[in-house]
A and B are shown apart, each in its own frame.
Chain A
Amino acid sequence: MPSLTVRPLDGCRGVRAAGEIGLATRTIWERVLEQAVREGEGVYYLELSEVTFVDVAGADALAAAAERLGDGRRFVVRRPPPALRRVLEMFWPDLPTIEVSMS
């Protein structure tokens, strides 16, 4: 079975995810995002360099969570797989609360 593992980031608020985000791991991903929305203020990092694939529903969940972030808050999505970048650009090109970072 495909898996998605998530652990806290050292030194900043956020998580490092590894695996893939699809039908089988959607619930885990949505829990991660739920937690991220609840947690504090400012910037929340989603380090995705070890995530190999994100489907449209996974991108949809990320966008929906980002839309619930209050003033002055945002997600920084680090090194997402190409599929996530493509889907975000296509459906949520101007979402101010998601910043995609390739570094």
Chain B
Amino acid sequence: MSAAVEHPGTAPDPFVHPALFYRDEREYLDGTVPFVREGLAAGEPVAVAVPGDRLRLIKDALGDDAETVRLLDMREAGRNPGRIIPGVLRAFADAQPAGRRVRIIGEPIWAGRSATEYPACAQHEALINAAFRGRTVTILCPYDTERLPEPVLADAHATHPTVIPAGPGPAHDSAAYAPDAVVARYNEPLPLVPDALTVPFTAESLPQARHLASDEGRRLGLTGVALEDLTLATAELTTNSVVHGGGSGVLRVWGEGGHVLCEVRDRGRLTDPLAGRRPPARERRGGRGLLLVNLIADLVRMHTGDEGTTVRCWFAR
């Protein structure tokens, strides 16, 4: 089921990343539980990060074996898709001893994902391929074909090199596999929001920008850790603009439904698609700002191009 598809004349990538399409509970368990058991039987470390209701299904089916599996509710651990690679997948894979394949079930896209979250979800699925190239890891991604819309299922064929169709039928290469095209397609512009607190900043006014964001966040209903996180995210994004993004930028803060948003626009261009998605290397200094933002925000959306870069973050209020 999860065997790498080999191509004659080329060394196969040890990284295996199949999409598992399922129509119902039975197909879900048939596709996931044997995958977990095969791993356990081979002495491989196994993690399951799926939405809570699905997690319970797998846990119950595994019985006592569930105790040796790392179980995570993806609705919490992977609320912001940008934190799944560093905070869930690599956090688990990198902590395992070398030499054994690592198996992970990761279900980042469920029926309740909003239209605002989805572009970040699709980019995340596409970027897993670059993040794990060359690693002896298998990440199986279930997709609910009954409840997810057709374009989402089509994207899954573009973000996964291997697909396991719903119903009977073997795993096969995905003819539509094109992860870079997905990253580019969902690099969607983030239109300016009217009536936001708008603060242009340079190196000299970084502290004022941070204070204004914090005051506005408080006025809009953030308290405690969420307010501290908004303040930290603002500080990191505005500092990034000054250091890497042309020396200045514009900060905006506003409320939208259950969230307070902050956004930073600058003239820089983000050239590294995995920026903010690599776990920190203990011995390396610097470069943790965007990673921190991914780890603390409930959602991060980005747009980058010749005209500049926009990073927008959501914090639940």
Whether A associates with B in a native complex is yes
A22 touches B207 (CB 8 A): yes
In contact, A56 and B295 (Cβ under 8 angstroms):
no
With A23-B206, A24-B206 known as contacts, the answer to whether A53 contacts B235 (CB < 8 A) is: yes
- Judge whether B159 is part of the interface by a CB distance below 8 angstroms: no
Contact A87 B235 (CB under 8 A): no
Q: When A2-B207, A60-B286, A90-B295 are in contact, do A55 and B228 touch as well, CB less than 8 Å?
A: no
Q: A55-B236, A56-B288, A86-B232 are in contact. Are A91 and B280 (CB under 8 A)?
A: yes
Contact B203 A87 (CB under 8 A): no
Interface residues of B in 202-259 (CB under 8 A from A): 203-204, 206-207, 210, 225, 228-229, 231-232, 235-236, 239, 242-243
Residues of B within 8 A of A2 (CB): 206-207
Residue in A closest to B239 when the chains form the complex, CB atoms:
A23
Smallest CB gap from B224: residue in A: A82
Q: Which of B243-288 contact A (CB under 8 A)?
A: 243, 280, 285-286, 288
Interface size class of A (residues with CB under 8 A): 10 to 19
Task: Tell me if B242 and A87 are in contact (CB < 8 A).
Answer: no
A28 interface residue per 8 A CB criterion? no
The A interface is mostly helix, strand or loop, or mixed, namely helix
Give CA–CA (A5, B108) in the complex, Å. 46
B residues near A83, Cβ cutoff 8 Å: 228, 231-232, 235
Q: Is the CB of A90 within 8 A of B292?
A: yes
Contact for A23 among B231, B243, B296, CB less than 8 A: B243
Residue of B228, B229, B288 near A91 (CB, 8 A) is B288
Q: Does A64 contact B (CB under 8 A)?
A: yes
Indicate whether A9 reaches chain B with its CB closer than 8 angstroms: no
